[in-house]
Amino acid sequence: MNRIASCLLVAATLSGLAACASAPLHYYTLVTPADAPVVDAGTQAPSLPFELLPVSVPAQVDQPQLVVREGGQGVALLGSERWIAPLGDEVRSALSADLARELRSQDVSGLSGGDKPRLRITLDLRRFDSQPGSYALIEAVWSMRLLHGEHPAALTCSSRISETVGPGYAALVQGHQRALGQLASDIATAGRALGAGQPASCPAG
């Protein structure tokens, strides 16, 4: 290979590397804006503090990048489309914010609650499926205990929530936000019942 060809090859390689290096990164969060509307305000119910324990997520999607479905069996790891924080932290932060709005309260994890009643909530996220232009789906097993008195009330449920989404990754993330918002509404409904000393049941479906 002569010197001119070598120079052209090096230039083309450097140009390709520069193009890859300049590909913009897009970061997403599952936390909805602070002024997002409450699905079920429950304005007549008293506020109920809660503890949301760390959330477990499926290993297949526990990546900095968005993992999306491609056809029936394929998946893609999107190098330039990323979560702003680890996915488990994103889900927990989003659910905590949604629960705070639903319960008109706050997440008191790590704080001393004295003898005041509080909910302790655990969430095991079993599926977190994403197909751009089609759906955002979550499946989870969650449980709660009302920490008050000698015999705390408890409830364990499973939820499957699917949201239709439009094209684009921003729409996909918004679909997951809506799904988590619905999950928070279901959890809060059961939590308010426990807090009021009433029978609590799992959401239909």
- The architecture of the domain spanning 25-195 is 3-Layer(aba) Sandwich (3.40)
pLDDT tens by residue, 13-40: 444 444 445 679 999 999 998 765 554 4
The H-or-E segment that residue 103 falls in is helix 87-103
Domain boundaries, the chain: 25-195
pLDDT tens by residue, 44-60: 556 789 999 999 999 99
Parallel, antiparallel, or unpaired for β 74-83 and 26-28? parallel
Please state, in angstroms and rounded to a whole number, the distance separating the CA atoms of residues 172 and 134: 8
**Per-residue pLDDT, 205:** 65
Q: Kindly list the distances between the CA atom of residue 173 and the CA atoms of 80, 104, 129, 177, 178, in Å, as whole numbers in the listed order.
A: 15, 25, 11, 6, 9
Return the beta strands (E) in the chain as ranges. 26-28, 50-52, 65-70, 74-83, 118-131, 135-147, 154-164
Kindly report which listed range (40-44, 100-104, 109-113) carries the lowest average pLDDT score.
Answer: 40-44
pLDDT tens by residue, 137-165: 999 999 999 887 666 678 999 999 999 99
Average pLDDT score, the chain:
85
Structure tokens at 26: 């897009």
